[in-house]
Structure formats: C-alpha cells, structure tokens
Amino acid sequence: MKLDFLLKRGEFAPILRRFFINTLFDSTFMQIGIIIGSALFVAGTYMGRLGRKNPYLKGLRMVLFGAAAFVIGFAIQKLI
C-alpha cells in the first residue's frame, strides 16, 4: 500500500537512490537517468496505445533506443 503511494507521487526515485549510492554526485545522475527513462517509457506507452500495438513493448523499445542514442552520443563525444 505504501509503495504504491510512493510510486504514484513520483517519490520512489529519491528513496531508491539512497539504498545503492552514497555520494551526492552519483545519486543525482542515477535519479536523472530514472526520470528520463520513465518519461521515455510513458511516451512510448502512449504511442503504443495510439497505434493499437502492445504499449509496454513500445515503451520498452523507446527506453532502449533512448539509451542506445545516449551511449552512441557519449562515445562520439569521447572520440572527438
């Protein structure tokens, strides 16, 4: 019951990061990643519902493509 309440209000990411990472710098980037991934998943789910496809697979696909784009962009930036 309490976990569901935290998930609905968006307070799960700040609590989750305190269990795994102790430094403020690393935990901030982990929280940013969780929020961006959640936003991509919600956008993909919405697109899946509009297109009459499986919304969860579309959401997962959107998150994976977003992560791949980040990794490719980061690699290119490191090479330059």
Residues 1-22: tens digit of each pLDDT: 455 555 555 566 666 656 666 6
Averaged pLDDT score across all residues of the chain: 81
Dihedrals phi, psi of 54, to nearest 5 degrees: -70, 115
Question: What total of structural domains would you count in the chain?
Answer: 1
Question: What does the pLDDT average to over 57-72?
Answer: 95
Q: Which residues of 45-69 are buried (b: 16+ CB within 10 A; e: fewer)?
A: beebeeeeeebeebbbbbbeebeee
* Percent of the chain whose predicted confidence (pLDDT) is above 70: 69
pTM over 0.75: no
How far, CA to CA in Å, does 80 sit from each of 25, 61, 67, 70? 25, 29, 20, 15
Question: What does the pLDDT average to over 33-61?
Answer: 92
The tokens describing 54, both together, are 């499986």
* Whether residue 72 has pLDDT greater than 90: yes
* Whether residue 56 has pLDDT greater than 60: yes
Supply the range of the domain harboring residue 16: 2-79
Contact by Cβ (8 Å): 44, 66: no
Return the DSSP state at 22: -
pLDDT given for residue 4 in this prediction:
56
